[in-house]
Structure formats: structure tokens, C-alpha cells
Structure 1
């Protein structure tokens, strides 16, 4: 039987974080020292909200390694280890897989030539939306469906052509409402309930539990909107990572269930 947990995997940024990939926006300078400060503040926020943080060993060779979410998809205690699309990111997933094994987690893996990145996977109850993006291909979607369908998931592929990953554009509130910045979303009607937010950085939230939502400090109007709807926003400054097309979901993997192997 699954056991409940509140574990968040995190990964310290590489000193080469400023060299991270930027494909959908104009590159601007990244301050690696400030990025490290912001990462520490992000981790402290998770701890203050009752999450046990587990560090995936950092890798100086992977400038994008801090975006640990891309390396695994968690569903009902099962970890699907991904296969990043870009050669510079290959190998990031290996350290994540070892940490999950140490936690006793049941695992599966996406195999070549398929590619899948966790930033393209949005879970809303039993429905798993997967962005068909420049980083996740049809084989990756099919392999994820093959693993998750026996666990009770309905995997729905959605087009992503305007941003890096699906969760750059859309995430979900604890009640299942999808929220997103409409100019970034290819087809809002694919989601059962869709709430537009007023700022690009407001599209991403992390459900911390108890109605509390982690979101970017760069989205104050979205925070006000969510507060008006009865949620409690928990802002965090991740500006250096946003320069690299990152968001609050990218910097951790929430493990809410563990299924022993």
C-alpha cells in the first residue's frame, strides 16, 4: 500500500547556471550568486511549509540541473524517470533516479528515442495532461501513457507551441481548476475548467497543502486574484531562474506518496 509523504526533491544550482538553455525568450544575464541565494530561500520556504527537502546531488556539468522537475514524473507513488530532449541535459535524470531508489520508490523510465520532460506534465486528479512540445515527443507521451494507464490515469496530450513547457503556461489549483496565462496557452478549451491569470509568471503555482499556493513574487496581481478566491498565496522570488524560462514548479519535485518496490 502507498504511504503518504511530504518530501520535496531539490537540486542546488550549478555554478554554470547562467549558461542554461534559453529557447523561447531573449537571453539576459543571470547572476549565479543571486540564483543560489534565491534557491536557498525557495528551499527554506518549502521547509517552513512543512515539506522535508531531499537534495539530489548537484552537478557542475549540468547548467540546467537545478530544474529537477524535468527529470521525473511522480504519479501515485510511482516515479517515471524522464529522458531530456537536449544533449546538454542528458544525464541529469540519473542522479534523481538514484535518490528515488534510495527512498524505496517504484520506478519506470522513458527509453530512447523518446523524450519527455517533467515540466510538460500536469496532473489534475486522475487526468494527466502532457504537453507535446519541443522537449516532449509523441514517443515520450506514449511511453508515459503505457506506465500510468494501469495506475488509473487518463493521459491527455495537448499542443504546446508558444512556450518551453506545458507548465510554463498552465498549472492547476487544488480544486482541479486549471490556471494559465492565455497568450501562452494553445487551447484552453482542452481543460475542464480554465481560469485566466493576469501575468505570465502567475501561470505556475505549487500546491503546498492546506490551501496554500507557492507562486512567483513577480505575479502580485495573480496573488491577489487567488487570495480573493480563498487561497493563501506564498510568494517567492525566483527572478534569476525566470530569466532561464524556469518557474516555481521547476525547482522541486513533490513526492506525496511512496510505493515500495
Structure 2
């Protein structure tokens, strides 16, 4: 995989928010999201992806799965093929099965993580040199080993790291900015897991800004974190700020809302 392949893509998959979105999982209840606002914010997100030049495939809503707009957890898409995840939240297992036929239409190689392994895309950070996977309440050692068995055959090096206690996913606290640069909270970077990378820290009190996505020439980040946005601009990145107040109530961020890839 070339280094640019970790952030330059031709396609993205999103899924329209279900009417049941207010019933989605959340670690801390900060209030139910407003479904109408979720839909508005999601539309702005899709428009921002399209503005990068990507082909965006919008899948229909799945009312049976309140968390189904967070498609990133269902699969890992690499240049060599796609891997269907096995989410660690039992209520989300059906979402991966719903995603599989769409990826089969785009990829010639599909693999599937099987029980008892669990792994979610939110714990996987693909950089220009390796795949970092964080253990968490949703991703176990068996899931990481199963993914490693697949991706190593494709020439990828996988490294297991640790998600900070009380943090839902590894990428809740970090994001790829380019092949050698990571945006991270100080609490995650302090673990040393990004040794050898340039690290830009989120500003104090703006830890929730860590989940951004680099998509082609744009960095899409949640609005409301001006100091972190300025740090990214000062580092030379083109930043697009997007409303995310409602998805944040469901522990959702920029990366959660799409699968980003160049199909094989």
C-alpha cells in the first residue's frame, strides 16, 4: 500500500440515519439526539465528502439498527480487499451482515471475522506504514489476531495497542492526518504508541476534537473546537468544520460515519 493510499480515496459509503437513532448506544447519557438534526448534520457530512471529489454511496436507513449510521465499525476497506468486522456490541452484529453485500459488489476479495472474535472499525487506524488496532470493550485479542491473519497475507504489518480506560474506541482519541502525522489526545499519545510519528495534540479541553478524517486534501473535523482547528491550519492542513453535536451524544464522530476506500 502506498503511503498516500492511507488518506486518498475514490469512494465512501455512508448510511442514512434511521428514525430510531435516538435509541442508539451511548457510554454516558447526555440527552437523546434530535433525529431531524442528525439528518441535517449527516447531509452536510456527505456533501463535504463529495466536495473532495469522492463518489459517495448512500445506503438506505436501517430502522432496526439505531447505530447503523456509524458504518465504519462494520468493515475495514483496504486496497487489496475488505474485511467484514464482528462488532463487540451484540445489538450491532446485524449491521455488518447488512454491509457485506454492498462491499461484495465493489471488491473481488472479502473476508469475514468469525466468532468468538470481536473487532470494530473504530479501533483500527491505518497509516502509511502499519495498521494500529486498539484493544477496547468492543475489540478483543481474538479479533485482532483474526484481522492480523488476513492483512498479513496482504503485506500489512499490524500492531496491537491499547485504548485508554473509559474511551470507547481507539480512534475516539486519534486520527491520521497524513502518512507520518497523527492527531491525538495527550492521554493517548502519552502511552508511546505513536513513537516515530509526528504528533499534533488536541488543545486542552478539546479532546473530543481528536476524531477527524483526512480525506484527499481535506481534514473533516467536528465544529466547536477552535483551538485544535487552528493547530491543524497552522500545520498546513485544509480544515472543514462540520456540525456533530447530535452524533456526539451517541459517541459518534467524523470517522464513524463513513467507510473510505478505493475499490479493488
Contact 2:82 / 2:107 at 8 angstroms: preserved in 1?
no
Q: Are 2:227 and 1:221 equivalent residues in the alignment?
A: yes
Per the alignment, residue 196 of structure 1 pairs with 201
1:95 to 88, 92, 98: 98
Query: 1:129: Cα distance to partner?
Result: 0.5
2:35 to 19, 23, 32: 32
Q: Compared with structure 1, are the counterparts of its residues 56 and 77 closer, same or farther at alpha carbon in structure 2 (3 Å cutoff)?
A: farther
What is the CA–CA distance in structure 2 between the aligned matches of 1:209 and 1:62, rounded to whole Å?
30
What is the CA–CA distance in structure 1 between the aligned matches of 2:101 and 2:58, rounded to whole Å?
11
TM-score by length of 1: 0.92
What is the CA–CA distance in structure 1 between the aligned matches of 2:107 and 2:258, rounded to whole Å?
19
Per the alignment, residue 236 of structure 1 pairs with 242
Cα deviation per residue 1:131-167 (whole Å; 9 max; x = unaligned)? 1000000110000000011212111111112310000
What is the CA–CA distance in structure 1 between the aligned matches of 2:78 and 2:179, rounded to whole Å?
17
What is the CA–CA distance in structure 1 between the aligned matches of 2:107 and 2:78, rounded to whole Å?
15
Q: Which runs of 5+ in 2 are unaligned?
A: none
- Aligned-pair Cα RMSD in Å: 1.8
Deviates more, 1:92-101 or 1:127-136: 92-101
Per the alignment, residue 170 of structure 1 pairs with 174
Q: Are 2:79 and 1:73 equivalent residues in the alignment?
A: no
Q: Residue 21 of structure 1: SS of its match in structure 2?
A: coil
TM-score by length of 2: 0.91
Query: 1:186: Cα distance to partner?
Result: 7.2
Query: 1:187: Cα distance to partner?
Result: 4.5
Deviates more, 1:54-63 or 1:112-121: 54-63
Q: Are 2:214 and 1:207 equivalent residues in the alignment?
A: yes
Contact 1:206 / 1:214 at 8 angstroms: preserved in 2?
yes
Cα deviation per residue 1:110-129 (whole Å; 9 max; x = unaligned)? 00010010000001113100
Query: 1:5: Cα distance to partner?
Result: 5.4
What is the CA–CA distance in structure 2 between the aligned matches of 1:33 and 1:146, rounded to whole Å?
42
Q: Which runs of 5+ in 1 are unaligned?
A: none
Per the alignment, residue 147 of structure 1 pairs with 150
What is the aligned length?
Answer: 254
| Runs of 4+ more than 4 Å apart | 2-5
Q: Are 2:174 and 1:181 equivalent residues in the alignment?
A: no
What is the CA–CA distance in structure 2 between the aligned matches of 1:38 and 1:255, rounded to whole Å?
22
Per the alignment, residue 246 of structure 1 pairs with 252
Q: Are 2:20 and 1:20 equivalent residues in the alignment?
A: no
